[in-house]
Amino acid sequence: MQTVVITGGTDGLGRGLALHYLRLGAHVLVVGSTAAKGEALPAAAETCPAGGRATFLQVDLTSVAAARELVTTIEDGCPSVDKLVFCAQRYRLFGPRTVTPEGFEHSFALAYLSRYVLGHGLRRTLESASRPVVMNVGTPGVPLGRIHWEDLQVTRRYSGTKATLQSFRANDLLGAAFPAVHADTPIRYVCYNPGVVATGMPDHLPQPLRALTKTSFAVLATSPEKAVEPMIRLLDEPPDPAFTAYRKTRRLRLTGPAFDLDSAMRLHHLTRELIRDR
């Protein structure tokens, strides 16, 4: 039986993937911060019995320590992990800058640091699977935002959009660095942009942006059920190269600053230092 770990698996794209792999008979570990959503998942999968194969892990992934504990929990409970998918995200595009108790800016912590800790931390467990794959779901291929090298925690001229976009660009570099950090790993690392998908994401936006986004979603967005189809194909048949990036079904060229290896390694080393004592 294959083991699939999905952060943000209680909602949206992550939930769509979780339901798919539960129906296929996989052991699916879903990570989210809301217990009610996680506990509702096995029933939604309509698998009989999904019990025992659906594991909900309630973790606040804004915490590096909690992400580290999650690595240990998964290592202790699973001899191998076949697929690791990162979907946990909560946009804070407006409002004041918020900092986690560990001292990290919210988007940096949730959308980037948790993926750094889990991807590198679960490497051995992934390498025990026959065809391991990591999928980092974000916005590769979108030329917006940059890494604020001198101010990664966005303390100066903060805006939620600036911090969110930086976390996306950091994830592009996280993928680019992975095979360089772990030479000869059998893990295939895929950065994936699903396009516009009608998930619950706008529910957390302030009005009137929430209403506007929902209206535009109704016209423009793909349903989560449809959007996960190409993701499932990539997860089941990972591409040959150790690192690839896709925007829906289109493979992206790994040229330009988004995937620059020097920048990727620079961010890797900076991040390792930042979280060393957390």
Ligand X SMILES: NC(=O)c1ccc[n+]([C@@H]2O[C@H](COP(=O)([O-])OP(=O)(O)OC[C@H]3O[C@@H](n4cnc5c(N)ncnc54)[C@H](OP(=O)(O)O)[C@@H]3O)[C@@H](O)[C@H]2O)c1
Residue 194 CB, shortest distance to ligand X, in Å, is: 5
- Interface residues for ligand X in 104-143 (CB under 6 A)? 110, 137-139
- If one asks whether residue 194 binds ligand X (CB under 6 A), the answer comes out as yes
18: alpha, beta or left? (left if phi > 0; alpha if psi -120 to 50): alpha
Contact with ligand X (CB under 6 A) among 3, 4, 5, 8:
8
Q: Which is nearer to ligand X, 1 or 36 (CB)?
A: 36
- Is the distance from CB of 189 to CB of 137 less than 8 angstroms? no
- If one asks whether residue 60 binds ligand X (CB under 6 A), the answer comes out as yes
Residue 247 CB, shortest distance to ligand X, in Å, is: 9
- If one asks whether residue 199 binds ligand X (CB under 6 A), the answer comes out as yes
Residue with smallest beta-carbon separation from ligand X: 12
Whole-number Å distance between alpha carbons of 88 and 95: 20
Cis peptide, bond prior to residue 230, ω within 30 of zero: no
Q: Are strands 243-247 and 83-86 parallel, antiparallel or unpaired?
A: unpaired
Residue 2 CB, shortest distance to ligand X, in Å, is: 21
Residue 67 CB, shortest distance to ligand X, in Å, is: 9
Site residues (vs ligand X, CB under 6 A): 8, 10-14, 31-34, 37, 59-62, 87-90, 110, 137-139, 193-194, 196-197, 199-201
